[in-house]
Structures are given as C-alpha cells and as structure tokens.
Structure 1
Amino acid sequence: MRKVYEAKSATASGPYSHAVDGGDYVFFSGQTAKNTPTAKDMTGDIAAQTEQCFHNLFEVMEEAGLSSDDVVKVNVYLTDMDNFKMMNDVYMKKFSEPYPARTCVAVLALPLGAEVEIEMIAKRS
C-alpha cells in the first residue's frame, strides 16, 4: 500500500496524491498557485505564483517530516520563458547552496490556467 502525504491547505486538480513515500525518496506532485481552495487570480504575477507553489510544496514536506534541505531535484514548468528570471528570484530564497538539481522547461499550458508549476523529489537523511 502506498504511503502518501497531503497538504491541509492545498487541493489536487486531478486523481493524484500530493506526495508518495518511496522509502529513501519522497516524490512530490506538481503544485500550482491554483491548487488552493482560496486561490486568487495571480495571472501575470509569476513571483506570487511561485511563492504559492512553494508554500503548497513545503506544507506537504512538513507533513512528510522533511525540509528544503532534503530536496535533491526540482522540476519547474513555465508557460513563458520570459518569466524565468522572476521565478528564479523567488526560487533562490527557498533553497541554500548547494542548490538541488533542477530542470526548467517551457510548456504550452498548465492545469487551471497556471503559469508556473513546480514538482520535487526529496531524500530522507
């Protein structure tokens, strides 16, 4: 049976768990700023959307007994690479050096009209 972790204030926009425990690794589903019951329209504000993504993810991390220091891989999806710098400005405040490995790709669209989605993998110490 899968061991899963769910955030209290984040919602799922499909049939998935917020995070699944894989033993040494915990796999976190992508989060957007729209994955909250009180989601505000943040269209065009990539910094605010990125903050909300991390808020959702870090809440799930806390449920799993992990911290940002345990994150080993991050995937970031942007609908517009012109937002790369603004996303990075927020991202750099969420982790300390040495930073986790990361991939950032442009995508045509994201669920619920989001402009950024972030997923992570963390390793238990």
Structure 2
Amino acid sequence: MENLNFELTLIGEDAEKQVINFKNFLEKQSIEDLDELLVKRTEHQEGQMGAGGILGSVSGVIRAASQPLTELVKCLQKYIASFNTEIEIKVSEGEKTKYVKLSGKDPKKVEDLVKLILADNSNLS
C-alpha cells in the first residue's frame, strides 16, 4: 500500500503558537496508519541555538487508503470546529502535489475531501 506525505498548515495569526497543541491533538486521536508526525521548523542557521524556529505546520506520512484518510479528515474537521481556524492540506506523492483548504466557513463532506486527496491515484485503494 502506498503512503502519502502530507503537510497541515494552520492559517491565522497565532499559527506558530497553536501548532504544538495541534500536533498533540492529532496524536491523541490515534489515527490508524498515521506516522512521522512532526512540527515543521525553519532551517537551522549557523550560530542559532536550538533546532530552528517553529512554523505553523505539521508534517506526516499516512497510508493512502480511504479509512485512514477519512479518520484524519474527521479529526481535522473536529479541530476546525473546536478552535475556529482554517487548515490547508498539502499532499505529496512522488512528483504530484495537491492542496485542499478546510474551513468552517466552507464545510465539505468527509467523503468529498478524501476523494479530492486520492484523486488521480487510481492505483491506491
């Protein structure tokens, strides 16, 4: 089964402050086949202490199948509803990259979002 690399970006002024809580929220959901969940950071600069500045994004790898993606999308919709924010999903598979924006202002059905993410991946189930 193929895996998809993804990046979830919080949209808003406090994204960098919220991203740690967002990552913790995702981890607590115990989403099947979700791996390598990391907070994105800027490149480490010479002379800088630490691992680089925190960006407002979380990256990870998930199995490219309907069930794990459905769980992830439901989790994201729950987060959006609870914290009144927007999230941009960037999904990469090889040379292909897709962007999907989730917002409480423009709610989409879970099934439609999973289809968008899996579109053009006919070899995936």
| TM-score greater than 0.5 by the shorter chain | no
**Higher relative strand content:** 2
TM-score by length of 1: 0.32
Larger Rg: 2
**Higher relative CO (CA 8 A, sep ≥ 6), structure 1 or 2?**
1
